[in-house]
Structure 1
Amino acid sequence: MGTKQTSTAANSKKGRVARKLKDTTAQPSKRGRKSDSNSTDPEKIKEWLDKTVEGPWTVHAIPVSNKRKRDAPSKMLVEDRLFEERLNVQYEVKPRDRWEALKTYKKFTVASESIATGDCILVGHSDGGEDADTGVDLADQWKAVVLEVRALDSEHVYLRVGWLNRPEDLDSGRKDYHGENELIPTNQMDVIDAMTVNGKIDVTHWDENDTDAQMVNENQYFWRQTFDYVGSKTFSKLRQICKDNRPQNPDEMIIECPNADCGNWLHARCVVEQAAKAAAEEASGKAKSNTHKKRQSRNVYTDTNRTPPAAKAKQGNFTAELYLASPPSTEPDEISVKPAATKPEIIITDPKGEKQAQDLYCLCCSKPIE
């Protein structure tokens, strides 16, 4: 994963969307100090910034656990606000003197939106999709957390950010267990022009180990895993579930085995895949003897007035669909001509289009799931 480069055409946006400091609430910190040298003279810095084509500052970072060099204590700072302690790093912004010559602020504004340190933002880039006037493609935008705001004046505002990557932006790529709106915070940091910011977004933490935690909304950006970009180049661990020992995709259903001696969580996808495979093998005479397979099959399925299946899988010409229990209608004027399903079940459709209902069985303990 290379360094992200924001659009060098950011200055062209100045007449369209104003990016400026929040003058009424911005409080310069004591860290922002000016040197008497020419390199930190405001006019010299302005001239240098206006002539710089690529990003004027770079962020050098090393793991906190590494031994510092002899001169490191006076230069390296510690960043400990990157979502998890494992992402803590020592860092230095170069050229340091010109960076520290800028004043620091608590917040800045994008058009009429106030953005503060600690907020997550959308960042436009030269690959397109950053035009807020014609509609921002949220999926295409880079995402980051604002760690520091510094400015020379209202036309020269810069942010030190930590990147939140989409799974496909990392070398390992997107996996089948990644949610559509899942982001992976890293300790990769850059300094970007505030002119490239396209607004603020809400990113929530989903603790998958908390069984009482509410599932994330389908339109909500979230994170549950981090990637140590600076040090070990490793991901934090995800909870492994089901017979295949794979993480959960938060966009897909999982089922808990109610048996006290088991209690495993199952991927609904794995359940229907196994059911479709078993039906195909049984039809071809390849199925091994299994006592519960015959007794779980029930009458031919005829109800066509159901909600969409919670999971679906195909094996050859056989299709398996998982339907959940559906309580009867509570509408006083509505009459149900067909009984509601009182428990979850799998519907197998054979090559002739005939349907048959089957009970659910745990893939780990083989006991029925009621």
Structure 2
Amino acid sequence: MPPRDQQIHSSAGHFSSAELRRFQGSLLMAKPKALRQTLDSYTVKRINKTIKAGDCVLMRPSEPSKPSYVAKIEKIEADSRGANVKVHVRWYYRPEESIGGRRQFHGSKELFLSDHYDVQSADTIEGKCTVHTFKNYTKLDAVGNEDYFSRFDYNSATGAFTPDRVAVYCKCEMPYNPDDLMVQCERCSDWFHPACIEMSAEKAKKLDHFFCESCSPEGQKKLQNSQSTSKIAETKVDSKRRRR
């Protein structure tokens, strides 16, 4: 097969000189691709909210029954007239949208910052929201509808998370879910789910002081008896907090 440009030149011989002039003229008159400009901010009129790069927004889902998508704005662009505004975004994934799915320790407002970038119309923005760090989220006195948190980056192709290890707590050795009630031992400072220590949630809420089984006087006595009979002096009682 001949190169593409040779095909074009050979076929040109079938056109009249007038047709060739019209064709060449149309090429000269062809409009260049419209230049786009980067905006520092943009007001979404439908919701009367001003957005800028770095903001987190709620975006209209593909199906009305689904919750709003959450994204971080990377850049805002418009055409030369300031119209046809597009937002370059980086998507947040919900746990159920990840390859591994939702797990017990995932919070109801937890999101994963993905490596999935996209360009969307600014008209699809439904509102603004805040994606907190995990630490800041756990310090909130009240969690609003627009409050979320993220503690993992997510690779959408491989399903890998960064970081791939987090602190685990309680006898069940699960990462912390901020939605779950936990009680803290005053001595070792570890946290426990009431159900894991055979305690009701109602009782846990009324506690003034709590010592875990290992740190309570009864637990210490059992440990000493166990050490004296088995002669395992190296037993650690403070190793509940590990990394997974």
- The interval holding the TM-score normalised by the smaller chain is 0.5 to 0.7
Q: CA deviation at 1:175?
A: 1.4
- Between the aligned partners of 2:92 and 2:116, the Cα distance in structure 1 is 9
Deviating beyond 4 angstroms after TM superposition, the runs of 4 or more aligned structure 1 residues are 36-40
Corresponding residue number in structure 2 for 1:144: 71
2:187 pairs with 1:362: no
Equivalent position of 2:97 in the other structure: 169
Paired residues for 1:249-288 under 5 Å? 249-259=177-187, 262-272=188-198
Paired residue type of 1:268: P
Q: Secondary structure at the match of 1:207?
A: helix
CA contact (8 A) 1:206 1:215 kept: no
Cα distance change, pair 159–324 in 1 and its aligned pair in 2 (3 A): same
TM-score for both structures, normalised by structure 1? 0.44
Aligned-pair distance for 1:147? 0.2
1:109 aligns with 2:51: no
Gaps of 5+ in 1: 1-35, 43-100, 130-138, 276-308, 313-320, 326-342, 345-359
For 2:142, which of 217, 236, 242 is the aligned residue?
A: 217
Structure 2 unaligned runs (5+)? 1-27, 219-244
Question: Relative to total residues, which structure has the larger helix share, 1 or 2?
Answer: 2
Per-residue CA deviation, residues 78-114 of structure 1 (Å, 9 max, x unaligned), is xxxxxxxxxxxxxxxxxxxxxxx41111111111211
Tell whether the 8 Å contact from 2:61 to 2:67 is kept in structure 1 after alignment: no
How far did residue 167 of structure 1 move? 1.1
1:109 counterpart SS class? strand
The CA distance in 1 between the partners of 2:184 and 2:123, in whole Å, is 48
Q: What does residue 124 of structure 2 align with?
A: 196
**Is contact 2:98-2:156 (8 Å) kept?**
no
Measure, in 2, the Cα distance between the counterparts of 1:37 and 1:180: 57
Partners of 1:126 and 1:156 lie apart in 2 by 20
Shift of 1:183: 1.5
Q: CA deviation at 1:232?
A: 7.2
CA distances 1:217-258 after superposition (whole Å, capped 9, x unpaired): 333322222213367732423321112211111011222212
Is the radius of gyration larger for structure 1 or structure 2? 2
Matched residue type, 1:265? W
In the alignment of these two chains, the number of paired residues is 185
| Aligned counterpart, 1:158 | 86
Equivalent residues of 1:188, 1:230 under 8 A apart: no
